[in-house]
Amino acid sequence: MATNSKQYLNYAFLILHYQTVELTKQCIKNIIDLFSDKKIIICIVDNASPNKSGELLKQEYVNANNVKILKSTTNQGFAKGNNIGFNYLKTNYEIDFMIVLNNDVTITDKLFLRKINKIYEKEQFDVIGPDIYAPKLKQHQNPQEYNLPNPASYEYWILRYKQLLWKEKTSYYIKYPFRKAYSLFCANQTAKIEQESEDINKRYENNTIYNCILHGACIIFSKNFINQRDYAFYPETFMYFEEHILSLQCINKGYKIMYSPEIKVEHLCHATTEYVFSKIEKQRWFFYKQAIKSMSIYNKLYYKYHKIAPKPKLFLSFNKLIALFIASILLIITFITSPTSPGRTPIKSDAAGYYCYLPAIFIYHDLHCGFLQNGSSLAQQYQQEYGYPPETWFLNNTEKGWITKFSCGVAVCEMPGFLCACGLSKIFGYDCNGYSFFFKLLFILSNLIFSLAALCILLKLLKEITNNKTAAIITLAVALCTNVFYYSTVWAGSAHIYNLFFATLMLYNWKHFLDNPNNKSLIISGLAMGMIVLIRPTDCVLAAFPILYTIFNGNVLKVFDFIKNNIAITLIGTALFLAPIALQMIIWKITTGHFIYYSYQQEGFDFLHPHIIDGLFSFKKGWLIYTPIMIFAFVGMWFCNKKFNIPLIITLIIHCYIVFSWWCWWYGGSFGCRVMIVMYPLLAIPLARLLEKVTTKKAMVAIGIMLAFFMFWNVLQSYQVQKGILHYEDTDWTMYKQSLFKIRP
């Protein structure tokens, strides 16, 4: 009898329901007709059926005392769905045996429950499976396997299923005219693969088998298993191979798991899957994807329980393939377009102004940049290549001498590459003047490394917000469909790529800090924000987002509690935020005699006449004209909650107002609106939310075509700017129209 307030029952039936209401009703009727004289409870878990059949069942059995209908708010798959019922029954009843059934299983033996009792008295089992006969397949399905599968065999099947999934989707989406024939070919391939595997289900097993893999259509748990376990099935799977993981865990824990031919049921087999997926292709795709996931989980647990180091993967995941593709494209284009020959240099324009701190400090020991002033060999070379001396571009005169008008943040990022170039130049006999071959090469590589690092962190950030595939696709879009591509490859050394890295780093760590306040995230966030301010002071606006996001999400008290309890760490984080800014102030003090100095002199802002419309929509440098994919970021905001949207919109408005109030609102020779790059990590999130909503085949194909076009258009226009087909700062509608699809000047 029960030892607490729980009701005592001999038997509980647990049935997972999804859409097929008639099957579920037949299953309930079958149980009630056979065992009306027993103390039983039938628990039905509706797995968020979209056809509202769960509600129909609830109305149907509202007066049935021995039928309980539970409703899940989302479709949680086989394992989690059954676990809902398992936990409900365990919490509310004292049960001797729990029979977990598919709703397409029929019990034909009136002595079924008595036989379970009899076997338990003899075996004291924890988990048992009956003989399951599938008339449709003419197969006995239990046991599935006699022993635990070896992870190596699952690695093989994971690969084969991935290959089949790729082949079939290729046929369905690409080879439209031959879709039917190709799908039949793939079905034949599936049949061949199934024949290759050891098929032990075609014969009847008339012996009791221990430590085997049971079939999930009917599994019986005894009270010992029920009382000791928090769940029936490992909750990380969605469907398929749950029984394999169950057997693995039972054997690891020392539970007795067995098959007995004395108890029997019949299984309609795949009835729900066939109902949900009317097309045979979709049934197979669903199986492939879920099998790949479940087998991967099995292998992970197998290695953990047996304390074996998992074998290194020979094949790259989708995310890694995307990352490799991005890295390869950027690397190839970088070295195709960026000159390193003696007659040309990538260290030019603004990039030269940012960079000149390094040769000034480490080679010439002259922060007034005398090595670039009129009369020097480097100044003459610069004059010859660009038609104007450094003094008219990025050097400004002060009371104490010439200084670069740019801050030193980019130079700090380029310093490791610069020091490597110094060493390589000395080893291989090149001039160690800051502008020879290795300096050019490492200048380019530094820019590319920071770009790839920014994209990797963005991928990690998006993977915590959305699913892996969406995260990878959006990262690919940011890399190849925006002017990130141009400034990663064609035009190295700009401040925007470096601030893209620190902006992504700051947002990633601040999210982690809000999720779980910790020292590391706070310190990194502070340092990253300090570097953002040092590299481009106007980008300090980005700090508005984490502040507003913290406020709108009600995390202010959490942050203050952490600060109050971790004063030392807070001071360290604040010091790291101020350290980069202090570095620039020290340099200004040395070069100008003032800790705070406005190095741009006559250049400034006109806050009364901002060029926001021009900055967003003009053919001269309109952000959304040259980076049209970001239009969809605004569409994606519809699918984000207001706690994210309000901070984002406020931050964007302030940023646009400031950057487009600059006297040179088009920002000189450039591609697109480079000052918006720092906002891409934030805008990637609504892009991801929009992509999540794409579920139909036609929409997915349309999105794929659109992304391919945006990539092509972005790369083409980057090429046109580099070749002078599109003017770097004076393009208008007439010139833009004439340049369409041109590849020769």
Peptide bond into 610 cis (omega under 30): no
214: left (phi over 0), alpha (psi -120 to 50) or beta: beta
Predicted pLDDT of residue 164: 77
Q: Which residue in 635, 624, 327 sits closest to 475, CA to CA?
A: 327
Predicted pLDDT of residue 169: 67
240: left (phi over 0), alpha (psi -120 to 50) or beta: left
Q: Which residue in 528, 545, 525, 571 sits closest to 409, CA to CA?
A: 528
Beta bridge partners of 226: none
pLDDT, block means (10 residues), the chain with 745 residues: 64 91 91 87 90 88 88 86 91 91 90 93 93 86 86 81 73 51 49 45 74 92 91 88 92 92 85 50 77 88 80 54 66 59 67 91 90 74 66 73 91 96 93 89 91 92 88 92 91 92 96 89 95 96 95 91 91 94 95 92 93 95 95 94 94 97 91 94 96 84 91 91 86 89 81
Q: What is the pLDDT of residues 239-265, one digit of tens each?
A: 888 999 999 999 998 999 999 999 999
| Spatial separation of the C-alpha atoms in residues 329 and 298, rounded to whole Å | 36
Contact, 79 vs 237, CB < 8 A? yes
CB neighbourhood size of 262 (10 A): 16
For residue 460, the SS3 value is helix
Q: Please give the backbone phi and psi of residue 21, each rounded to the nearest 5 degrees, phi first.
A: -65, -35
List C-alpha distances in Å: 717 to 188, 249, 745. Answer: 46, 57, 12
In the block, tokens 């984000």 appear at 640
Q: What is the pLDDT of residues 32-81, one digit of tens each?
A: 989 888 888 999 999 888 888 888 998 888 888 889 999 888 888 889 99
**Tokens representing residue 554 in the block:** 């009600």
| Spatial separation of the C-alpha atoms in residues 95 and 11, rounded to whole Å | 6
| Spatial separation of the C-alpha atoms in residues 142 and 12, rounded to whole Å | 22
**Tokens representing residue 491 in the block:** 């035009």
Q: CA neighbours within 13 Å on the CB side: how many for 48?
A: 10
β-pairing, 395-398 vs 209-210, is unpaired
- Rounded to whole angstroms, the maximal C-alpha distance in the chain is 107
Contact, 17 vs 44, CB < 8 A? yes
Predicted pLDDT of residue 413: 96
For residue 90, the SS3 value is helix
The DSSP line for 410-443 is: HHHHHHHHHHHHHHHHHHHT---SSSSHHHHHHH
| Spatial separation of the C-alpha atoms in residues 182 and 173, rounded to whole Å | 11
In the block, tokens 């490799």 appear at 324
CB neighbourhood size of 738 (10 A): 11
Q: Please give the backbone phi and psi of residue 546, each rounded to the nearest 5 degrees, phi first.
A: -60, -35
| Spatial separation of the C-alpha atoms in residues 571 and 563, rounded to whole Å | 9
β-pairing, 7-17 vs 93-102, is parallel
Contact, 390 vs 345, CB < 8 A? no
CB neighbourhood size of 235 (10 A): 16
| Spatial separation of the C-alpha atoms in residues 28 and 99, rounded to whole Å | 13
User: Could you tell me the pTM of the whole model?
Assistant: 0.63
142: left (phi over 0), alpha (psi -120 to 50) or beta: beta
| Spatial separation of the C-alpha atoms in residues 363 and 400, rounded to whole Å | 20
Contacts of 538 (CB under 8 A, 6+ apart): 658, 659, 662, 675
